[in-house]
Amino acid sequence: MSRARQWLVAYVLAAAVALPVAVPAADFTLQGKTVTLYAALGLGGGGDTNARTFLPYFAKVLPGEPTIIVKNMPGGGGIQGVQYLYNVAPADGTAFGLTPGGPVKEPLMGDGSKATYDLRKFHWIGSMSTEDSVCAIWHASPIKSIADAQKNQVALAATGVSSNSTLVPILINDLIGTKFKPISGYDGGTSLLAVERGEVDGRCMSIGAIRSARPQWLRDNQIRMILITGDSPDPEAKDVPRLTTMLKSDADRKALEFFSMPDEIQNPLMLPPAVAPEVVSAYRHAFDQAIKNETYRAEANRLQQNIQPHTGDEVQKTIEAMYATPKEIVDRVKRATTVKRSDK
């Protein structure tokens, strides 16, 4: 268990309330309907790829076996998609969402002007993985190590200014004095193309996302992972320098732990605030069934997708723990990220 997860549990246990196991409601069905997944990320990235692998199995166990289509809404680092689900999407069970880490972090870690939603009001279905971020540099870049990144500016492809691909490197800059320069405006797929074309030096993202979207990067040694943010036991990261070992103060450690909490529930699925309890129950039950499907897990393994699921209840408690974080820790992270987003 990571230190971020241990900290999360410490916050949650004191206030945790046992919730009933999700069971399907007999009178709720999606038969003959089309369900839309509003994915707050770009087409072709790791999170998008993982979701599209999972959805056929998920659809089969939802009541009525509906057709599921995906609408990618990556604007603003995913905030556009999350806000649409919160404010506009139908609350009858025909719409649900998927969000990367950035929009989960924005309400507490951002400046408050972009996120017009309260994460605690969503109904969380579950999440498929837990991941630490790595900063991966293209093999042709002159940047060879984290020491090089502390001496030289390093251009990194990023999606929105509130996305993890922006927030992770600027937090690292604050913590250990690197000179990462996120260049936002890409989506998930085009950000990877920018790395391959040499438009930028690299990208900060999860190892799982690399495996899903660009497995050849690892297989053919096309990238160098110069830093990992957490303590992942991933064998391909065993020799990668760890940010956790470079921190100089307890305040820095607590800041990183808080910032990393959404990565414990990476790319969670959620329903709009106004859906009925029977809809929430049906979706959670379907998620719990589909994520354990042996055929799905075999396909995910074949595609090198790192599946470490969390239930909807576990995701909900993580969100509550974020909101329970002491103000001084939240402010520390906000100072490190919000103020520096405009740095060029």
The backbone torsions φ and ψ at residue 51, rounded to the nearest 5 degrees and listed phi first, read: -65, -45
pLDDT at 284 over 50: yes
Asked if pLDDT for residue 4 goes beyond 50, the answer is no
Sign of the dihedral defined by the CA atoms of residues 116, 120, 125, 130, in that order = positive
Mean pLDDT of 147-168: 92
The rounded percent of the chain whose pLDDT value lies above 70 is 90
Q: Which CATH number fits domain 3-129+263-339: 2.130.10.10, 3.40.190.150, 3.30.70.3420, 3.30.413.10?
A: 3.40.190.150
The larger pLDDT score, comparing residue 57 to residue 165, is at 57
Exposed, middle or buried by CB within 10 Å (0-12, 13-18, 19+), for 221? exposed
Q: Positive or negative, the Cα torsion across 280, 318, 182, 236?
A: negative
**CB–CB of 151/126 below 8 Å?**
no
- Using the predicted structure, report yes or no on whether residue 344 has a pLDDT greater than 60: no
pLDDT category of residue 341 using cuts at 50, 70 and 90:
very low
Task: Give the domain ranges of the chain.
Answer: 3-129+263-339, 133-260
pLDDT tens digit sequence for 125-142:
999 988 788 999 999 999
Which pTM was predicted?
Answer: 0.79
Q: In what order do the strands lie in the sheet with 202-206?
A: 180-183, 154-157, 202-206, 133-138, 223-228
Is the predicted pLDDT of residue 145 greater than 70, yes or no?
Answer: yes
Q: With 80 as the cut, is the pLDDT of residue 17 above it?
A: no
- Which range is least confidently modeled, 43-47, 289-293, 316-320? 43-47
- Tell me if 3-129+263-339 shares its fold with 133-260: yes
Confidence of residue 159 (pLDDT cuts 50, 70, 90): confident
Q: Taking 80 as the threshold, does the pLDDT of residue 20 lie above it? A: no
CATH of domain 133-260: 3.40.190.10
